[in-house]
Amino acid sequence: MYKTFHRKKIVVIFLVCTAMFLGLAARLVYLMIGQSEYYTEKAEDLHERERSIKAARGRILDRNGVVLADNRTVCTVSVIHSQLTEPEKVVEMLCSELNLEEEYVQKRVDKYSAIERIKSNVDKETGDKIRAYDLDGVKVDEDYKRYYPYDSLASKVLGFTGSDNQGIVGLEVIYDKYLEGTEGTILTLTDAKGVELAEGGEGRVEPISGNDLNISMDVNIQTYATQLAEQVMETKQADGVSILVMRVKDGELLAMVNVPEFNLNDPYTLTDTWLYREVETETQEYGETVKSIVKVPATQEELTEKEYQDRLNGMWRNGTINDTYEPGSTFKIVTAAAGLEEGVVTTKDSFSCPGYVIVEDRKIRCHKVGGHGAENFVQATMNSCNPVFVTVGLRIGADRFYDYFEQFGLLGKTGVDLPGEAATIMHKREAIGMVELATVSFGQSFQITPLQLMVTAASIVNDGTRVTPHFGVKVTDEEGNTVEVFQYEQKENIVSEETSATMRYMLEQVVENGGGKNAYIEGYRIGGKTATSQTLPRGSGKYIASFLGFAPADDPEVIAICIINNPQGTYYGGQIAAPVVRQLFENILSYLEKINYN
């Protein structure tokens, strides 16, 4: 009986072992055949070192094919700890060639990692010298760094890229997905210790270059407008000058200037304008101590981290779209158009300006203290008469005027293809009383961006068609083949064609015989409107002078606006801003005619 039990036990054990063996065999077959591809990849991963190859970023080209943003070949220097045979020599060489601190380099050389980056954006000449040392474990990979041939030209429009070659501000960030391309890789085989196998060779997955962005900017117009702005800023000792130029029919922006600009090839170095610190001072006035904040010159090293970042953000800021201001009398274009459209005023209506108008308990003065006397609506526009425009605004009424704000597109954004566009700051509909309505009618008590004002004025003189301002025109590949053409929304019937024609006539009279006569050009029909507005808070003694002009006046093709912030001395828009637009038009209108405004 014992033998029988013993024999059965042996059989059971045998069967269990057989089953286990068969299971292991089946598992082994499954892993070797069914999962061979998976484990082959795993094995390769253990013995591969991967380094990225940056793709060449697409260029940015102006409307004539001039390159505004390009690439330069640079190098990334890295070390692989497991492959280093002479670490002391490597540290010494890298410190010398890259001008780095020994402690910084030593820390990275000693670090156990697949690959440790020492420095990026090393110029190619230096990279070639490091490669020539032929030291084990030192890798020099070529990639690309963004390069801007015109340095500061259109800096706040183009924007720039970071160390990873991705866009940070401006067009570079808006169109990043078209420009960035696809990175490649370098694959090397290593043994179990991570030492590179010479016989394994080097595998490469080539990068795919980004596409080119073709924009509407004309480098010739942008350059000349920048020169004009810089001259005005220097002669008038202004805080800043902005100039915008746009094609009326389709919204293509030909120029966008904001001086002072900054160097796109060195965007983290503050320009002189931004090298200051704010210091609290005390003065005695009428026996009392008055505290105030003043700006004092500083070096970049003297700034705190927060001060430095604040200055950078200010330096990069595009005032024509990121900032709002009280437009003053240029906004009378909107009031006049709304009044004509509503039927509360005609060109022949007569008015009398005594130099002021009373609204509720407020006495609102005209810029001409003695008043303009008797005048019709065309003359009132030529004279930029506040009392007349207050009267027109009151005739329209707060509720209907607000409707026109919506109809004209003033309460939203223009939709420009640049980051950070600000919206109009306007009273709520229910908060507009008689006084607010009166001040809004001549361009005060609300704020708007320069671009929004120009686009709205363009729609009023463009038979009532509102366009979307933009720079992006199309995307092309390396061979110049079109990849994508951008389309932009247009809105019709902002005003009737009749109102538009009347506005063109009235604004041409402003230039021919009114306050905008300093923009007049012999042989050309120019329309426009001047403005002089105080900056907030009132009584600061700071003003903004501006002029908005378009040509030809009977069938506008191009529109421009010049804004001068805090000019010293004479600060009237008709005297200092209108001549800037005149000089601009004198130089670009014949040029645009030759190329048929294309």
- Over residues 55-110, the pLDDT tens digits come to 889 999 999 999 999 999 888 899 988 889 998 999 999 999 999 999 999 999 99
Q: What is the pLDDT of residues 331-353, one digit of tens each?
A: 999 999 999 999 999 999 999 99
Segment 162-182 mean pLDDT = 92
On whether the CB atoms of residues 246 and 211 are closer than 8 A, the answer is: no
DSSP state of 300: G
Residue 163 — very low, low, confident or very high, per pLDDT cuts 50/70/90? confident
The one-letter code for the residue type at 72 is R
Q: Any idea which of 194-198, 482-486, 500-504, 563-567 has the lowest mean pLDDT?
A: 194-198
User: Mean of the pLDDT values across residues 366-372?
Assistant: 93
Nearest alpha-carbon partner for 157 in 221, 211, 208: 221
Position 30 scores a pLDDT of 64
**Token pair for 452:** 């929004």
Q: Determine the pLDDT at residue 52.
A: 72
Least confident of 39-53, 150-164, 174-188, 198-212: 39-53
| CA 367 to chain CA centroid, nearest Å | 36
pLDDT in tens, 415-441: 999 999 999 999 999 999 999 999 999
The per-residue pLDDT for 142 is 81
Q: What is the pLDDT of residue 468?
A: 98
- Confidence (pLDDT) at 547: 98
Instruction: Give the pLDDT score at 182.
Output: 86
- Worst-scoring range by mean pLDDT, 7-11, 67-71, 201-205, 296-300? 201-205
Indicate if the pLDDT at residue 31 is higher than 90: no
CATH 3.90.1310.10 given to domain 50-215: yes
Q: Bigger pLDDT: 45 or 210?
A: 210
CA angle, residues 474, 480, 483, in degrees to nearest 5: 45
Which token pair is 232?
């005005």
Give the type of residue at 552. Answer: P
pLDDT at 188 over 70: no
d(CA 257, CA 311): 19
Q: What's the pLDDT band for 206 if we cut at 50, 70, 90?
A: confident
| Sequence-ordered list of residues with C-beta below 8 angstroms from that of 127, at least 6 positions apart, any chain | 74, 75, 77, 140, 142
Which residues are annotated as catalytic?
329
165 or 174: which leads in pLDDT: 174
User: Whose structure tokens read 């006569």?
Assistant: 517
The domains of the chain are located at 50-215, 263-317, 328-594
The yes-or-no verdict on residue 194 having pLDDT over 90 is no
- Whole-angstrom distance, CA of residue 64 vs CA of residue 215: 9
| 515-534 pLDDT tens trace | 999 999 999 999 999 999 98
Mean pLDDT value of segment 43-50: 52
Provide the percentage of residues in the chain whose pLDDT is more than 70: 90
Alpha helices (runs of H) in 369-517, residue ranges in sequence order = 377-383, 386-396, 398-408, 434-441, 450-461, 497-513
Check residue 201 and give its pLDDT: 52
Architecture of the domain defined by 328-594: 3-Layer(aba) Sandwich (3.40)
**What pLDDT, on the 0 to 100 scale, is given for residue 594?**
77
User: What percent of the chain shows pLDDT beyond 90?
Assistant: 73
The Cα 141–Cα 79 span in angstroms is 11
Structure tokens at 421: 């566009």
pLDDT value at residue 46: 44
pLDDT at position 121 is: 84
Residue 336 backbone dihedrals phi, psi, to 5 degrees: -65, -45
Per-residue pLDDT, 597: 57
| pLDDT recorded at residue 61 | 98
**Residue 208 predicted with pLDDT over 50:** yes
CB 60 within 8 A of CB 107: no
Check residue 535 and give its pLDDT. Answer: 84
Per-residue tokens: 202: 């080097």
> How far is Cα 259 from Cα 1, in angstroms, rounded to an integer?
109
- pLDDT at position 38 over 80: no
Secondary structure class of 7 (helix, strand, coil): helix
Question: Which is more confidently placed, 192 or 512?
Answer: 512
pTM higher than 0.95, yes or no?
no
pLDDT beyond 60 at 47: no
Q: Name the nearest CA neighbour of 486 among 466, 501, 498, 469.
A: 469
Q: Is 386 exposed, middle or buried (0-12, 13-18, 19+ CB in 10 A)?
A: buried
Tell whether the model's pLDDT for residue 24 goes beyond 90: no
Mean pLDDT for 240-253 is 97
Of 277 and 22, more confident: 277
pLDDT of 141 strictly over 90: no
CA distances from 289 to 278, 281, 283 (A): 19, 10, 6
Residue 112 confidence (pLDDT):
84
Of residues 450 and 187, more confidence is placed in: 450
pLDDT band at 202 (very low <50, low <70, confident <90, very high): low
